[in-house]
């Protein structure tokens, strides 16, 4: 409705006309306010799930929800008085919701506005349930910045959190607090709260993994390629394509033939997974990749364009590239096959994301231009590739030989 128009008594009135009516005494503001309060009272009473009744003793009774007992009985001398109790209770619930209610509103609203995917919506809920199960029962207006700070800091040792896990917890906390601030449920500065957190890198659990846990070594990659090329089927071709493009497995599963131009792939979408109410998983295609940088063109090595020709021979007339028995292959199919191939080739078991790390390491090891690396990987910052993807792919024997061949470490003959 136009901001200059007001809905009053079933008719639409222009603001200037309303002002004139008030100033002229045609409309009694006190009366209007009284009617509004009565309407709110009726709405709150209608919200009450328990019956209001008169007992044999002449008093009026009802029940109110209670966190510990389930419900508690309330008694007053008159019907109006017991209604006042009910209205007061539900008014407090509306004007001072629990932390969980604010979080749920924030998380659900972001999903409805399509700001987050169903998978992120589920992950937010899982993070909340893990940490806020008890603390989340508190009323939002009863908490202070110090309460939140202490609560967050206590979670780190309690759950031996990594820096990444703590970042996820801060994300949902910042989100629902900002929602509470917008609803005027809290008045403190949310960003200032997070700046005051007393945490350092040494507080977090360090997950140290060996290089050969994170990437495929030269020897492993050689065995993998030999097996995959000698056992051609649609899943093995998909794994090979990940090795030579660095695609995320979700991007791979969402590829369409329109994305291939003869020499490379236009990455425009990704598969996402989310949980259903019955506990099973559902898969859908997001028409945008993980990040804005994920919208990219990925060049294929000329020596491996044969992979696309083989795939085309398998699925000439399908919309999606990876289809078997009329159904689009999901990410878990590639993940399960990769673990199976690792076992058969005596490689350390690794996920599809380790293929992506291997690809990033190969590009950096070969001094590929940084902008090209970022483009192929779909990263906004080369530091992401260098700090989180670059690993030493040499086997232990290869490392020994490299170090042993350094002149300064060789005895004079």
Q: Which of 203, 209, 213, 144 is nearest to 177 (CA)?
A: 144
Tell me: pLDDT of 142 over 80: yes
Q: How confident is the model at residue 9 (pLDDT cuts 50, 70, 90)?
A: low
Q: Which of 117, 181, 177, 121 is nearest to 152 (CA)?
A: 177
Res 4: pLDDT: 58
CA distances from 150 to 145, 163, 181, 193, 232 (A): 9, 17, 20, 11, 56
Tell me: pLDDT of 306 over 90: yes
- Give me the residues paired with residue 298 across strands: 265
pLDDT tens for residues 198-249?
888 889 988 778 888 899 999 999 999 999 999 999 999 999 999 999 999 9
Average pLDDT for 375-387:
84
Question: Quick one: CATH architecture of 99-203?
Answer: Orthogonal Bundle (1.10)
Res 238: pLDDT: 98
- Give me the residues paired with residue 250 across strands: none
Tell me: pLDDT of 382 over 60: yes
Q: Which helix (H) or strand (E) holds 71?
A: strand 70-76
Strand, helix or coil for residue 329 = coil
pLDDT tens for residues 155-183?
999 999 999 999 999 999 999 999 999 98
Task: State the DSSP string of 22-65.
Answer: HHTTSS-HHHHHHHHHHHHHHHHHHH--S--EE-TTS-EEEEEE
Q: How far apart are CA 287 and CA 125, in angstroms?
A: 23
Highest mean pLDDT pick, 13-17, 94-98, 194-198, 393-397: 194-198
Give the distance from CA 198 to its chain's centroid.
25
Neighbours of 383 (CB within 10 A): 10
pLDDT tens for residues 247-292?
999 999 999 999 999 999 999 999 988 777 777 888 888 887 656 7
Q: How confident is the model at residue 40 (pLDDT cuts 50, 70, 90)?
A: confident
Q: How far apart are CA 174 and CA 145, in angstroms?
A: 12
Q: How confident is the model at residue 346 (pLDDT cuts 50, 70, 90)?
A: very high
Percent helix, percent strand, percent coil in the chain, to nearest 5 = 55, 15, 30
Radius of gyration for the chain, computed over Cα atoms and rounded to the nearest angstrom: 31
pLDDT tens for residues 148-157?
999 999 999 9
Higher pLDDT, 119 or 216: 216
Q: Mean pLDDT for the chain?
A: 88
Res 208: pLDDT: 78
- Give the rounded percent of residues in the chain with a pLDDT score beyond 70: 90
Task: State the DSSP string of 257-284.
Answer: GGGB-SSEEEE--EEEEEE-TTS-EEEE
Question: Quick one: CATH architecture of 211-398?
Answer: Orthogonal Bundle (1.10)
* pTM higher than the cut 0.75: no
Neighbours of 90 (CB within 10 A): 19
166 φ, ψ (degrees, to nearest 5): -70, -35
């Amino acid at each position: 409705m136009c901001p200059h128009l007001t809905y009053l008594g079933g008719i639409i009135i222009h603001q200037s006309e309303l002002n004139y009516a008030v100033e002229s005494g045609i409309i009694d503001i006190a009366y209007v306010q009284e009617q509004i309060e009565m309407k709110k009272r009726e709405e709150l009473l209608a919200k009450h799930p328990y019956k209001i009744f008169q007992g044999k003793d002449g008093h009026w009774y009802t029940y109110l929800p209670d966190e510990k007992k389930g419900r508690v009985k309330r008694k007053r001398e008159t019907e109006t008085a017991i209604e006042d109790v009910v209205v007061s209770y539900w008014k407090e619930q509306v004007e001072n919701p629990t932390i969980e209610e604010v979080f749920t509103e924030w998380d659900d609203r972001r999903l409805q506005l399509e700001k987050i995917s169903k998978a992120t919506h589920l992950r937010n809920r899982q993070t909340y349930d893990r940490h806020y199960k008890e603390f989340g029962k508190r009323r939002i207006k009863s908490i202070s910045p110090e309460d939140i700070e202490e609560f967050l800091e206590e979670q780190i040792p309690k759950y031996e959190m990594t820096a990444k896990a703590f970042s996820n917890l801060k994300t949902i906390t910042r989100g629902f607090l900002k929602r509470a601030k917008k609803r005027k449920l809290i008045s403190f500065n949310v960003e200032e709260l997070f700046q005051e957190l007393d945490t350092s890198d040494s507080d977090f659990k360090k997950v140290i993994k060996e290089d050969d846990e994170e990437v495929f070594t030269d020897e492993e990659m050689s065995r993998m390629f030999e097996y995959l090329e000698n056992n051609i089927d649609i899943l093995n071709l998909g794994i090979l394509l990940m090795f030579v493009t660095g695609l995320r497995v979700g991007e791979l599963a969402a590829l369409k033939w329109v994305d291939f131009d003869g020499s490379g792939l236009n990455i425009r979408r990704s598969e996402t997974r989310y949980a259903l109410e019955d506990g099973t998983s559902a898969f859908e295609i997001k028409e945008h990749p993980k990040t804005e940088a994920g919208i990219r063109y990925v060049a294929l090595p000329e020596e491996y364009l044969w992979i696309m020709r083989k795939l085309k021979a398998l699925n000439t007339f399908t919309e999606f590239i990876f289809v078997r028995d009329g159904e689009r292959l999901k990410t878990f199919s590639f993940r399960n096959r990769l673990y199976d191939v690792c076992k058969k080739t005596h490689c350390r078991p690794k996920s599809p994301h380790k293929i992506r790390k291997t690809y990033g390491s190969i590009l950096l090891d070969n001094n590929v231009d940084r902008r090209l690396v970022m483009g192929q990987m779909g990263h906004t910052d080369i530091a992401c590739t260098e700090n989180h993807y670059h690993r030493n792919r040499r086997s232990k024997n290869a490392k020994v030989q490299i170090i042993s061949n350094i002149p300064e470490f060789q005895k004079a003959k």
